[in-house]
Amino acid sequence: MSRNLHKSPLMAFTILVFIIYAIYNFVVSPDSLYEADSQKAVATLERVVDGDTVYLNIASQSVKVRLLYIDTPESTNKVEPYGKEASDYTDQLLSQAGLIQVQYNPEGDRKDNYGRALLWVFVDGELLQTKIARAGYCEKFYDYGYDYLYEDEIVAAHQEAIAQKKGIYE
């Protein structure tokens, strides 16, 4: 067999590409570092896109993250009322964080239709989605019928924002 590899550089190249692909997907990829549903991974902020989408560095890789369950007003292509405020609020919390952690929900998809990782994000031990809802920047929920770990906490924070007329509920 080793003679055939020397005679066929294309075969050797194909095998090498397969090995690199396997190592990346099963050993090094960010997903593999926090596969356990309850396990959290440490992340660092790269940049904020808007109130519910950010780029985080997880396991030395840039990952585009869509914050699970919440939806904030848009501030990118189509700017909606309070979109800039929601984006600035998310940016402020993440920029000033001493510790950022991420966690998958045990049920549901791990990525959305745009390839963004669907994650719970924690800022210094507190759920970012709850903080955003409590500040009044969550306009609706993305609930696809799964058992979301922090749904009750986020809904309660959202109701609190409505009652106190915060953010978009002024």
Determine how β-strand 117-123 pairs with β-strand 61-67: parallel
SS3 assignment for 78-146: CECCCHHHHHHHHHHHHHCCCCEEEECCCCCCCECCCCCEEEEEEECCEEHHHHHHHCCCCCEECCCCC
Q: Please give the mean pLDDT across all residues of the chain.
A: 86
- Which CATH architecture group holds 36-169? Beta Barrel (2.40)
Average pLDDT over residues 32-37: 48
Give the pLDDT band of residue 16 (cuts 50, 70, 90): low
Higher-confidence position of 52 and 1: 52
Average pLDDT over residues 18-25: 47
74 is catalytic: yes
**Which positions ≥6 away from 13 have C-beta within 8 Å?**
none
CA–CA separation, 33 vs 38, rounded Å? Answer: 12
**Which member of 3, 35, 66, 107 is catalytic?**
66
Judged by DSSP in three states, 78 sits in coil
Higher-confidence position of 23 and 164: 164
Average pLDDT over residues 37-63: 93
pLDDT at residue 25, as a whole number: 44
**Which member of 85, 116, 134, 139 is catalytic?**
116
Give the pLDDT band of residue 24 (cuts 50, 70, 90): very low
134 is catalytic: no
**Which member of 3, 46, 47, 74 is catalytic?**
74
CA–CA separation, 138 vs 125, rounded Å? Answer: 20
**Which positions ≥6 away from 81 have C-beta within 8 Å?**
73, 168
Give the pLDDT band of residue 41 (cuts 50, 70, 90): very high
Q: What is the pLDDT of residues 108-142, one digit of tens each?
A: 999 999 999 999 999 999 999 999 999 999 999 98
pLDDT at residue 83, as a whole number: 92
Handedness of CA 69, 139, 136, 78 (dihedral sign): positive
**pTM as predicted:** 0.79
66 is catalytic: yes
